[in-house]
Amino acid sequence: MAENKGKDSEEKGTKRSVIAAFIANFLIAIAKFVAGFVSGSAAMLAEGVHSVADTVNQLFLLVSLPLSKSGPDREHPYGYGKDRFFWSLLVAFGLFVAGGVFSIYEGVTKITGELEGSESYTLAYIVLGAAFLFEAGALTVSIREFQQTAREENRSFWDYFKTTRNTTLKVPLYEDVAALTGLIIAAAGLFLTQTTGVTLYDGLASIGVGIVLMGVAWELGTDSRRLLLGEAVPPEDEQRLRETIASFDEVTECIRLLTMHLGPNSVLVNAEIHVVDGLDTDQIEDLLERITQALRDEMPEVAHTFIELHPPGKPGQSAPKNGR
């Protein structure tokens, strides 16, 4: 029950973070485009496209939430948890192309003089200030949800950030930090352009925004790719699982332990172990049940276990496998 409550709490927190980011990005995108067209600022237009990309990305993440909860079937016996990683990969691709590439293109175009800027910067500054407040609010929501989930996992914020495989929860945090950084760069570019009359600074600011977005997209895409390819649990978690298995008196050695993430909160564990001689069928069944329960107590994310027993010194002769 506690495990289910923890997962439900994380799911609700993830959804709140995504919805907050969606609302903020939608409103900001409209304002940025208006300001960009009025001021002629390439950095503002780049920021507008950035916000559109973020808005679409939040829709992708909202779609992924119910899809990833679909139960196992014949074609997908382990469920659809990896759907989260697929949609997160699409988000990374969108950030890279629609955000990063377009921003750099706008900057280069501005520098080469193909776009003419106007002298009206007041609206742009107002929009940037409002956008900063909205993004800061969305980031506050994301950080709060992260902190709450980290506390439930008995981890620090940074430790949870490094170890969590909930890419859907991490995306709003990535995007909000990138958005705030981009807004600061855009404001600096506008200010330098206004005070010097040289549009080079506006173009450089747009390129700077693009580089930030590409960096965030690369980091997020790398995370998603690793998980789609079947990433194992972190080494420290694997060691915890090994120690849990080895803690049973009937187990003499854990020969091999393989793990794989099936979803943000779902892990497959495959183990081969040596056991003492003389165990009958009932004792073996009881041992497998106790090991499985102990693994889930130690790491609630463990959803499926396959344990193969070998008599000591006879790795080629195995007892029946247990899968749950």
Render 252-277 in DSSP notation, one character per residue. Answer: EEEEEEEEEEEETTEEEEEEEEEE-T
In our burial notation (b when 16+ CB lie closer than 10 A, e otherwise), range 192-215 reads bbbeeeebebbbbbbbbbbbbbbb
Find residue 271's DSSP bridge partners: 257, 307
Of the candidate ranges 248-252, 257-261, 310-314, the one whose mean pLDDT is the lowest: 310-314
pLDDT for position 322: 59
DSSP helix, strand, coil percent of the chain (3-state; round to 5) = 70, 10, 20
Inform me whether the pLDDT recorded for 4 exceeds 80.
no
Q: Which amino acid is at 31?
A: A
pLDDT for position 87: 87
Most confident of the ranges 25-39, 46-60, 119-133, 136-150 = 136-150
State how far the alpha carbon of 198 is from the alpha carbons of 105, 118, 190, in Å.
18, 12, 10
pLDDT for position 2: 44
- Domains of the chain, with CATH numbers? 2-228 (1.20.1510.10), 235-323 (3.30.70.1350)
Inform me whether the pLDDT recorded for 7 exceeds 70.
no
Mean pLDDT for the stretch of residues 233-243: 92
The pair of three-digit structure tokens given for residue 70, joined into one six-digit string: 């679909």
pLDDT for position 316: 47
pLDDT for position 248: 94
Tens-place pLDDT, residues 158-174: 888 888 888 877 888 88
Inform me whether the pLDDT recorded for 238 exceeds 90.
yes
Inform me whether the pLDDT recorded for 119 exceeds 70.
no
Inform me whether the pLDDT recorded for 324 exceeds 70.
no
- The share of the chain scoring above pLDDT 90, in percent, equals 23
State how far the alpha carbon of 87 is from the alpha carbons of 45, 68, 83, 179, in Å.
26, 10, 6, 20
d(CA 107, CA 160): 37
Question: pLDDT class for 30, splitting at 50, 70, 90?
Answer: confident
Of the candidate ranges 32-41, 134-143, 232-241, 245-254, the one whose mean pLDDT is the lowest: 32-41
Tens-place pLDDT, residues 31-90: 878 877 777 777 777 777 777 877 887 888 888 888 888 888 888 888 888 888 998 888
pLDDT for position 317: 47
For residues 95 and 44, the model is more confident at 95
d(CA 179, CA 167): 18
**321-323 sheet: strands from edge to edge:** 251-263, 266-275, 302-310, 321-323
Average per-residue pLDDT for the chain: 83
Radius of gyration for the alpha carbons in the chain, expressed in angstroms and rounded: 25
Collapse the DSSP code of 306 into the 3-class scheme (helix H, G, I; strand E, B; otherwise coil) and give the result.
strand
Inform me whether the pLDDT recorded for 315 exceeds 50.
no
